[in-house]
Homo-oligomer: A and B are copies of this chain.
Amino acid sequence: MDFTIQSALVPVEHGYETVDVQIVAGRIAAIAPGLQGVGTIVDGRDKLLLPGFVNAHTHSSEMWQRGIIPPTPLELWIAELYEFEPLDPEQLYLSALGTAVEVLLSGGTSVVDHLVMIEGRELESIAAAVRAYRDVGMRAFVAPLIQDESMTAGMPSGGTAQTHAPYIRSTAETLAIIEDAIAQFHRPADGISILPAPTGIQLCSDALFEGCVRLSDRYSLPLHTHLLETRAQQLLAHEKYGYSAVEHLKRLGFLSPRTSLAHCVWLDDADIAILAETQSTVVHNPLSNLRLGSGIAPILKYLQAGVNVTFGCDGAASNDAQDLLEAIKIGSMLHNVTDVDYRHWMTPRKAAELASLGGATGLGMAAELGSLTVGKQADLVLYDLKNLSLLPRTDPIGLLIWGRPTQAVDSVWVKGDRVVTDGTVTTTNVDDLRQQLFDRSQWITNRQSASIRQVEARYRAVMNLPAQTPGYS
């Protein structure tokens, strides 16, 4: 449906202007002051219009375990996470819906869902998430999380002999699932894309990465993976390849302008040069990196090297929310402690640009999304500048990115379709969602994980931690 947003504040090169924005057939048709009203009229007065942000890395099913996994590094955390899977497809539907609602209400119009699948019910799992994103009307890049090595292979050996059970499924079978998913669900014009997305070098063979590159070439798909999230993964990469994991991914042909790489915490200068050269995108997940103690990704170095950067929430069990504005805020402020020269620090305006155009770029969609540009698709967010959290009036983008906006999103459109009005998601019944999340869960106290105990001794040995220390504070 065509519409015109009248008298909204939009950022221009130096400051802001008040303009009208015409949307025709799902695309931005005109941006200027005093335009004729076309279609439905939307009052933009005292509101800020921005392109939608991209939550460029999450795992929606983790919503079921947010708030509960103890403060542990990734390698232990993930053992507990998987111990308390699997879910049923209806749960996957609900957590994708919940993720979408939280992302929409924090400025996001797109999500990259690195989706955990139920073993043996992989296509059903993908179908559940796709259905949720279609129902709510969010643009989704569903990236089924695949591996072809067993979980135990994901930890460095530290020079000890280790054997690992073969993975439950062959590499070819896994790739076939992705190809089936592409055939059934990949409908980019409708806002649903399927991405080949190996888990990461810690759990994937070269053959799996190469198979994903072939699918990407055949179907023109973006690629996505985790990359060097933790120090343990860096150690593992050196055990596995004898040289840099980034160099290895480059040799496999996995790095490209449509490749986005979650985390990138443990890269050195030579690795950074490879990301710049291959025009790959770094997806920064600051809250997850802090929560899991993974480290501080060298984001200011990436920007100085010309590497495209954008932001993700990561899964809700390592964040433990899906508020995109929170990830952008912390992801822009955190790096000020890593460089004494403040002239390198990220401005709120730069952070907003990385969250929108940077996200689109990493998905090969920069020509279609990510800025207020005539001809681009209308993935738009209108913020209420009379919200208490955005007052008093100063710099609207400064308030939005550095503040702590609370219910500041007034309206959201995806492909020109309105999905949020007056701060309420209109495409799904949020009260019903809340009730279902409530009914399908229990308050948990002192959940005991057997898995953490199983992997902890080896982790502590590999990381040179003392075997015996007092328990959690």
Rounded to whole angstroms, the CA-CA distance of A293 and B339 in the bound complex is 8
Given contacts A336-B290, A337-B289, contact A345 B443 (CB under 8 A): no
One digit per residue, 1 when the CB lies within 8 angstroms of any chain B CB and 0 when it does not, for chain A 52-89 equals: 00000000000111111011110010000000000000
10 A-B pairs with CB atoms under 8 Å apart are A63-B392, A71-B336, A73-B342, A289-B337, A321-B389, A326-B326, A341-B466, A341-B469, A391-B441, A395-B443
Interface-forming stretch among A146-154, A218-226, A396-404?
A396-404
Asked if A261 is an interface residue, CB under 8 A from chain B, the answer is no
Q: Output the least CB separation between A63 and chain B (Å).
A: 7
Asked if A102 is at the interface of the complex by the 8 Å CB criterion, the answer is yes
Q: Kindly list chain B residues whose C-beta atoms are within 8 Å of the C-beta of A350.
A: 473
Interface check A364, CB cutoff 8 A: no
Residues from chain B with Cβ under 8 Å of A443 in the complex: 9, 16, 385, 393-396
Residues of A near any B CB (own CB < 8 A): 9, 14-16, 46, 63-68, 70-73, 76, 98, 101-102, 105, 231, 287, 289-296, 303, 319-323, 326, 330, 333-334, 336-337, 339-348, 350, 385-396, 398-400, 402-404, 406-407, 430, 433-434, 437-438, 440-447, 463, 465-466, 469-473
Chain B residues lying within 8 Å of A294, measured Cβ to Cβ, are 337
Docked-complex contact A403 and B321, CB < 8 angstroms: yes
Closest 5 CB pairs of A and B: A15-B445, A293-B336, A67-B398, A321-B404, A392-B441
In the assembled complex, the CB of A335 is this many whole angstroms from the nearest CB of chain B, namely 8
Whether A336 pairs with B404 at a CB distance below 8 angstroms is: no
* CB-defined contacts of A406 to chain B, threshold 8 Å: 105, 323, 406-407
Given contacts A323-B404, A347-B473, contact A395 B334 (CB under 8 A): no
Contact in complex: A64, B392 (CB < 8 Å): yes
A98-B388, A333-B287 as given contacts; A445 in contact with B293, CB under 8 Å:
no
Cα(A398)–Cα(B443), bound, Å: 11
Is A337 within 8 A of B16, CB to CB? Answer: no
Most chain B beta-carbon contacts within 10 A, residue among A65, A293, A392, A472: A392
A245 to B340, CA, bound (A): 22
How far apart are A235's CB and chain B's nearest CB, in angstroms?
A: 12
Is A465 in contact with B291, judged by CB distance below 8 angstroms?
no
**Distance from A329 Cβ to chain B, minimum over Cβ atoms (Å):** 8
